[in-house]
């Protein structure tokens, strides 16, 4: 079973990497980009065959390691 975790900084948390990308896009002629938030995607191959158990396990992984829940939010997709 595959899991995909999307991790993003929470709203209100400064995103210097996103701001650098926004600035660079403007320098390259891509006008009209008012904001950029940069995050990460983590893909996991799991031995678990039960989707609900897999979701629970990946959620625990996020809470303990994959996301800094103080400043980041995450979502989990199970396929």
Number of structural domains (the chain) is 1
Residue 7's CATH number: 3.30.1280.10
Give the separation between CA 11 and CA 50, rounded to whole angstroms: 33
pTM of the model: 0.88
Residues whose CB falls within 8 Å of the CB of residue 45, separated by 6 or more in sequence, listed in order: 1, 2
> Whole domain around residue 40: which residue ranges?
2-78
Tens digits of residue pLDDT in 11-47 = 999 999 999 999 999 999 999 999 999 999 999 999 9
């Amino acid at each position: 079973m595959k899991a995909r975790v999307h991790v993003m900084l929470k709203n209100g948390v400064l995103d210097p990497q996103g701001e650098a990308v926004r600035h660079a896009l403007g320098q390259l002629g891509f006008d009209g980009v008012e904001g950029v938030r940069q995050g990460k995607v983590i893909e996991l191959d799991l031995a678990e065959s039960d989707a609900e158990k897999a979701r629970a396990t990946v959620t625990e992984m996020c809470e303990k390691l994959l996301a800094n829940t103080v400043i980041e939010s995450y979502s989990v997709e199970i396929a």
